[in-house]
């Protein structure tokens, strides 16, 4: 049985990419607003793997503050803290908007990431 779309979206938002790769449609689009965009499953997975390597190099603290769902769309709102040797490297306020098709496959991701000023 497939997990609900909210769970699929949350797993992606907190960096558990490997568990959701098979829920990416072949033509998925991921737009990290103001930074980068990735087209197609292969390109998105490659960026996920690069991001996951960074996550492994630091201590991460992901907090999901809210998940909103309407029809085939899911919005995940949260924060991410990145630390190294007890020092904060970055603190990010994030909102990810997911669109799913009728087969529960992610077709589009729009990510808004705002780093806290130091």
State the Cα–Cα distance between residues 26 and 45, nearest whole angstrom. 11
Q: Which domain holds residue 67?
A: 5-115
* Domain containing residue 97: CATH number: 3.10.450.50
State the Cα–Cα distance between residues 16 and 12, nearest whole angstrom. 5
The pLDDT tens digits of the residues spanning 43-92 come to 999 999 999 999 999 999 999 999 999 999 999 999 999 999 999 999 99
The pLDDT tens digits of the residues spanning 99-111 come to 999 999 999 999 9
**Residues whose CB falls within 8 Å of the CB of residue 2, separated by 6 or more in sequence, listed in order:** 104
**Quick one: tokens of 34?**
């103001």
pTM of the model: 0.94
Over residues 13-27, the mean pLDDT reads 97
**Number of domains making up the chain:** 1
| Helix/strand/coil for 107 | strand
Confidence (pLDDT) at 26: 98
pLDDT of 21 over the 90 cut:
yes
């Amino acid at each position: 049985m497939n997990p609900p779309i909210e769970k699929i979206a949350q797993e992606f938002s907190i960096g558990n990419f490997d568990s959701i790769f098979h829920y990416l449609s072949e033509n998925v689009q991921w737009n990290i607003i103001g930074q980068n965009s990735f087209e197609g499953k292969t390109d998105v997975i490659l960026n996920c793997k690069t991001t996951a390597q960074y996550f492994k190099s630091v201590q991460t603290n992901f907090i999901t503050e809210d998940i909103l769902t309407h029809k085939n769309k899911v919005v995940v709102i949260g924060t991410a803290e990145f630390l190294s040797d007890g020092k904060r490297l970055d603190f990010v306020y994030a909102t990810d908007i997911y669109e799913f098709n009728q087969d529960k496959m992610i077709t589009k991701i729009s990510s808004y990431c705002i780093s806290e000023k130091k």
